[in-house]
């Protein structure tokens, strides 16, 4: 039987963080930057108690959720769009703006989905070099051509954990041509307590040519429900709504996200946990001559250049002990480094115990 020909895609397929290890039970998964404390108990309670009518289609516009987001983040409800993960919002942005001759600038070690969705719609992906695994504004500006349409920045970036401070972000917007859309992905902003950091939403909420991405997959602990949102000019939102799948966010996700936003205590607890555990892990790692990025989001990028073992070997040996980190050689092409998600206290202790046994 013959099939019509597929389109030709010039892309490396996204490979998510591993979550299974053959027959090993009780694995410690520190490979996907999920919430260390799980989901807010208030969210769990509401999902159990609500008589969710899953036989009905969900609200196509996620209106209750958009109301709650606009209340919490003091932003205009009419400039919001929700997606099945921020992933889907990235995809829709690419579908909306990019033709085959258009160019997209992405920092070399940036989150992979920007280049994947850009390539799927046929745009040319232009990578801007970083400096010490940090986005470099000048290198981005050097890559601008008459065909540039979008610049994507994850801030902080996954997997490097580095970020542009608010002055650098403002500089970037100022120096970029006005008709280039700057997309700032705030996926990890809740964790960021660094003094020189501001979220994309806080800096650019009234800028027409900036689009901001947020997710419920990280600190809110709803990764499996697939829900995120975007914030941009009314013109962009209205155009996105024309191409958005009609019922793109399911009702359970919408209900859970509304409740997750209200549970401020859980967020505060998660941020404190993250800082405390990140500091603990960072000082432990330094005793093994493994350095990391300065603490920022809920993960660390571990550098094995000064360490007696190579990243690849540690990655494999940890797996034999049931501990999974993210191998950033795959996809990101970053050598001799591993990404470690800050887990629960128990998970982090298990990771450190496994590491000690590898190094003894």
Min CB(279)–ligand PLP separation in Å: 22
Min CB(67)–ligand PLP separation in Å: 20
How many whole angstroms separate alpha carbon 62 and alpha carbon 72? 16
| x/- letters, 166..185, toward ligand PLP (CB under 6 A) | -------------------x
| Interface with ligand PLP (CB under 6 A), residue from 11, 24, 120, 223 | 223
| Interface with ligand PLP (CB under 6 A), residue from 35, 160, 217, 327 | 217
Query: Between residues 126 and 154, which has the closer beta carbon with respect to ligand PLP?
Result: 154
Task: Retrieve residue 294's tokens.
Answer: 């300065």
Query: Between residues 85 and 232, which has the closer beta carbon with respect to ligand PLP?
Result: 85
Min CB(213)–ligand PLP separation in Å: 6
- Which residues are within 8 A (CB) of 323 and not within 5 positions of it... i.e. 6 or more apart? 27, 28, 30, 350, 351, 354
Give the number of other Cβ atoms within 10 Å of residue 249's Cβ: 27
Q: Does 228 bind ligand PLP (CB under 6 A)?
A: yes
Interstrand relation of 210-215 and 181-185 (parallel, antiparallel or unpaired) = parallel
| x/- letters, 30..69, toward ligand PLP (CB under 6 A) | ---x------------------------------------
Q: Does residue 232 contact residue 79 with C-beta atoms inside 8 Å? A: yes
Bridge partners (DSSP) listed for residue 107: 128
| Interface with ligand PLP (CB under 6 A), residue from 40, 86, 160, 199 | 86
Length of the chain: 360
Q: Which residue is nearest to ligand PLP (CB)?
A: 85
Q: Output phi, psi for 310, to 5 deg.
A: -85, 155
Q: Does 87 bind ligand PLP (CB under 6 A)?
A: yes
Rg (C-alpha) for the chain, rounded Å, is 21
Min CB(43)–ligand PLP separation in Å: 16
Q: Does residue 324 contact residue 15 with C-beta atoms inside 8 Å? A: no
| Chain residues 311-330 in contact with ligand PLP, contact rule CB under 6 A | none
CA distances 71 to 46, 64, 75, 258, 273, Å, are 20, 11, 7, 11, 26
Q: Does 187 bind ligand PLP (CB under 6 A)?
A: yes
| Chain residues 234-293 in contact with ligand PLP, contact rule CB under 6 A | none
Q: Does 189 bind ligand PLP (CB under 6 A)?
A: no
Q: Does 85 bind ligand PLP (CB under 6 A)?
A: yes
* Nearest partner of 128 among 176, 196, 189, judged by Cα: 176
Q: Output phi, psi for 53, to 5 deg.
A: -90, 80
Starting at the edge strand found earlier in the chain, the sheet holding 337-341 runs 291-292, 299-303, 337-341, 326-327
What is the size of the binding site for ligand PLP (CB under 6 A)?
Answer: 13
Min CB(8)–ligand PLP separation in Å: 26
Region from 82-90, 166-174, 236-244, 328-336 binding ligand PLP, contact rule CB under 6 A: 82-90
Could you give the residue ranges of the DSSP H alpha helices within the chain? 41-49, 63-72, 85-97, 113-120, 137-142, 166-175, 200-204, 234-243, 251-262, 264-286, 311-320, 345-359
Q: Does 154 bind ligand PLP (CB under 6 A)?
A: yes
Region from 125-133, 204-212, 215-223, 322-330 binding ligand PLP, contact rule CB under 6 A: 215-223
Query: Between residues 155 and 348, which has the closer beta carbon with respect to ligand PLP?
Result: 155
Query: Between residues 224 and 345, which has the closer beta carbon with respect to ligand PLP?
Result: 224
Residues at the site binding ligand PLP, with contacts judged by CB under 6 A:
33, 85-87, 111, 154, 158, 185, 187, 215, 217, 223, 228
């Amino acid at each position: 039987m013959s099939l019509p020909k597929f389109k030709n895609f010039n892309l490396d397929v996204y490979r998510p963080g591993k979550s299974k290890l053959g027959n090993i039970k009780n694995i410690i998964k520190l490979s996907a930057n999920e919430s260390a404390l799980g989901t807010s108990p208030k969210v769990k309670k509401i999902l159990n108690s609500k008589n969710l009518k899953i036989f009905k289609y969900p609200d196509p516009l996620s209106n209750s959720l958009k109301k709650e987001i606009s209340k919490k983040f003091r932003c205009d409800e009419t400039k919001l769009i929700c997606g099945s993960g921020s992933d889907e919002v990235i995809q829709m942005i690419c579908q909306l703006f990019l033709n085959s001759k258009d160019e997209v600038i992405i920092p070399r070690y940036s989150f992979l989905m920007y280049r994947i969705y850009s390539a799927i719609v046929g745009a040319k992906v232009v990578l801007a070099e970083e400096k010490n695994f940090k986005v470099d504004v000048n290198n981005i500006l050097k890559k601008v051509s008459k065909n540039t349409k979008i610049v994507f920045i994850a801030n902080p970036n996954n997997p490097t954990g580095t970020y542009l401070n608010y002055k650098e972000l403002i500089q970037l917007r100022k120096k970029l041509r006005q008709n280039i859309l700057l997309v700032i992905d705030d996926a990890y902003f809740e964790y960021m307590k660094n003094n020189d950091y501001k979220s994309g939403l806080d800096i650019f909420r009234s800028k027409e040519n900036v689009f901001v991405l947020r997710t419920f997959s990280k600190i809110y602990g709803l990764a499996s429900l697939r829900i995120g949102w975007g914030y941009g000019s009314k013109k962009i939102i209205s155009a996105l709504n024309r191409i958005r799948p009609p019922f793109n966010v399911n009702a359970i996700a919408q209900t859970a996200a509304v409740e997750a936003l209200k549970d401020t205590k859980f967020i505060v607890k998660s941020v404190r946990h993250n800082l405390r555990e990140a500091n603990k892990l960072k000082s432990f790692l330094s005793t093994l001559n493994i350095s990391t990025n300065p603490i920022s989001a809920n993960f660390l990028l571990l550098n094995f250049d000064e360490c007696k073992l190579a990243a690849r070997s540690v990655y494999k040996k940890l797996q034999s002990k049931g501990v999974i980190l993210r191998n950033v050689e795959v996809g990101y092409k970053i050598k001799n480094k591993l990404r470690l998600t800050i887990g629960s206290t128990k998970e982090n202790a298990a990771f450190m115990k496994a590491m000690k046994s590898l190094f003894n």
